[in-house]
Amino acid sequence: MRDGLPPPVATFNTREEARAWFYNLPERPSQAVIQLGGEPYLAAYHRNIDHLAFHPFSLVDKLKAWREKQQQEQDPEEPGPQS
């Protein structure tokens, strides 16, 4: 994934469309990159509980931004010398 996300295997407008497609596959993969509403998602299938979850990749960017903000609040830049 260093070169970016793999291309989506399928594109959908709604979660319902994606869910219907996934559950109608002859063999359900444990993971697949899909496009949902114009955004890349990881579709993760949990066989042991027969559950399909959709995780937007944008969550990673939001988490990074949140962590950076938290770090800045904990370690504010030291002020320069006062004149």
- The confidence score (pLDDT) of residue 22 equals 95
Higher pLDDT pick, 14 / 73: 14
The values of phi and psi at residue 7, to 5°, are -65, 150
Distance CA 9, CA 12 (A): 10
Domain boundaries along the sequence of the chain: 11-74
pLDDT value of residue 31 = 95
Task: Give the pLDDT band (50/70/90) at residue 65.
Answer: confident
**pLDDT over 70 (residue 79):** no
Q: What is the pLDDT of residues 17-34, one digit of tens each?
A: 999 999 999 999 999 999
pLDDT score recorded for residue 12? 98
